[in-house]
Chains A and B, each alone.
Chain A
């Protein structure tokens, strides 16, 4: 086996090992109405639920402290932020980075559809609004 073949095989195997399941073709639009922790097949498996630890508005990065550790989520132009107001029995709504305040409970779905990835661009962030502002 040549070195080149070996490297190709190694890369291929690595891709298989860490690739995980394919990213789903999920319908994002109804996702905004699903409360934190209840997204079917995602919550707790491919999302991180925890307290917002810090928000770096300049870098557009937020840190979430969860039971599994800290996750750093990059907020991109593709990231959707939703305010989960179901506990208030009010309609969920679109949010912005200004709604991300340390101490709030959030659920983050990273774009990489992998378990245990510590950081990356966020596909969506749900912010649980537990009390009227």
Chain B
């Protein structure tokens, strides 16, 4: 018995030595990495002396930097997202808790703060992924749903200042130094660096050599400027437009008629939801083009969360609201047969399948990056954080494929990758090995989607 114990102890010690010898000393972080790390800390922890919210309250990393009703339902009652439900100063005219809980909508006073009861819009929370590819336009930076989300110079860097004033205040007086403090220049630099580090750093180069029959056809329709016409406003499934006769427009704004959709969920409740006039004050009815690569796992869709599914979002462009809109009419005018967008059910599903697949490819890319980084870090807390994000991305990948009935074999590999990443997080000595195996499974899954 004693000798068995000794052998066990020796084995444990041996494992520890082997494990420790595999530890690489992480190189000292460079200046940019330090700035990003500082920005991450501010994004998730800094309340700016306000009502308790942080940037991460509405842009949580664990939900693709956005919120939706399903995620909101998991939050405790005292989460600062619900501050209007428990802070008497913010009970009226700060949020609409019912619309927040049922549809994930946030209240914004984009046309002024002089009539809070009547002048407001209800908007979803856009994710903050791929911002490096989706902010610039020849007309200056475009941020937020209508492109004019930031005060000051309108840049992504300035966005946090406006967000603090709108969403972080302790009272509706919004007195700087009393109800909140404004971010400093150094904080704005760090927040910008962190946000720019999230997600894709460059656009795709379509077409991809996809393997799935339906997604492959979806890509063809997406790129066909006489059929799907998607690539005109979402070049390479990103957020830049290349309109016929007008060339590259960068991250442009269009009036696509979303506000004219019948039966918008928030309005079906009978609650007051004023018309959102979009860009500028008074608005011109236009909204900013979001990137599509990140779409399939960040719904609901459009600025008012009007549509829940990616198939429904694609189908919107086949409807009257779009085809009668200024953008829809402009597309028809540029068409030799004077046609807007006319798609049948199979074509809508095919485009959505393509969007699902490119979303999963991006999730796999991120998962592999997270797993690889987790193998290099020495901090166990940081490793756990990275592995947890890799697991969530993997869960998203499987969910997005299953939701479209796509690539069952890839889903099986993703499930195995998830299991291994989970094991990596729980293993004291074999974490790196499991992470490596998880990466292998991710690559196997990817091989089913694309050549």
Contacts and interface: CB of A to CB of B under 8 A. Distances in A.
B238 interface: no
Given A38-B182, A89-B178, A27 B113 contact: no
Interface string A24-53: 111111111111001111110110000000
B151 A46 contact: no
B139 A39 contact: no
Interface centre among A23, A25, A32 (most CB of B within 10 A): A25
B140 A22 contact: yes
B157 A30 contact: no
Contacts of A90: 173, 175
B178 A27 contact: no
A4 to B, nearest CB: 25
Contacts of B173: 90-91
A26 B151 CA distance: 5
Contacts of B141: 24-25
Interface in B133-159: 138-142, 144, 147-155, 157-158
A41 B152 contact: yes
A25 B140 contact: yes
Given A34-B161, A38-B182, A26 B175 contact: no
Contact of A34 (B154, B176, B185, B188): B176
Contact of A94 (B114, B140, B149): B114
B101 interface: no
B111 interface: yes
Contact of B279 (A25, A42, A45, A86): A25
A32 B162 CA distance: 10
A52 B183 CA distance: 28
Sorting the interface of chain A by its residue count into under 10, 10 to 19, 20 to 34 or 35 or more gives 20 to 34
Interface residues of B, number: 40
Taking chain A's interface residues, is the majority helix, strand, or loop, or is none over half, making it mixed? loop
B140 A40 contact: no
B175 A25 contact: no
A29 B154 contact: no
Interface centre among A22, A39, A91 (most CB of B within 10 A): A91
A69 interface: no
Given A23-B140, A30-B151, A91-B173, A40 B109 contact: no
A25 B142 contact: yes
A133 interface: no
B275 interface: no
A85 B110 CA distance: 22
Contacts of A38: 176, 182
Nearest to A24: B154
B148 A25 contact: yes
Given A21-B140, A91-B173, A40 B153 contact: yes
B48 to A, nearest CB: 13
Given A30-B165, A33-B165, A34-B165, A25 B176 contact: no
A46 B153 contact: yes
Contact of B153 (A30, A35, A41, A92): A41
Given A22-B139, A25-B142, A27-B162, A34 B175 contact: no
Interface centre among A22, A24, A30, A92 (most CB of B within 10 A): A30
B211 interface: no
A29 B182 contact: no
B405 interface: no
B154 A27 contact: yes
A11 B193 CA distance: 38
A74 B364 CA distance: 56
Given A34-B151, A38-B182, A40-B152, A28 B165 contact: no
A29 B112 contact: yes
Given A29-B111, A34-B165, A34-B182, A42 B152 contact: yes
A33 B149 contact: no
A30 B166 contact: yes
A86 B175 contact: yes
Contacts of B183: 40
A42 B151 CA distance: 9
A26 B158 CA distance: 9
Contacts of A33: 113, 165, 174-176
B122 to A, nearest CB: 16
Nearest to B149: A27
A32 to B, nearest CB: 7
Contacts of A94: 114
Given A30-B166, A35-B182, A40-B152, 20 more contacts: A21-B140, A24-B141, A24-B152, A24-B153, A25-B141, A26-B152, A28-B151, A28-B281, A29-B109, A31-B152, A33-B113, A33-B174, A34-B165, A34-B182, A39-B151, A40-B151, A41-B154, A41-B155, A42-B153, A89-B175
21 contacts: A21-B140, A25-B148, A26-B148, A26-B153, A27-B110, A27-B149, A27-B151, A29-B111, A29-B112, A30-B151, A30-B166, A33-B165, A35-B176, A39-B153, A40-B150, A40-B151, A40-B152, A89-B175, A89-B177, A91-B174, A94-B114
The 3 A-B residue pairs whose C-beta atoms are closest, nearest first, are A41-B153, A24-B154, A40-B152
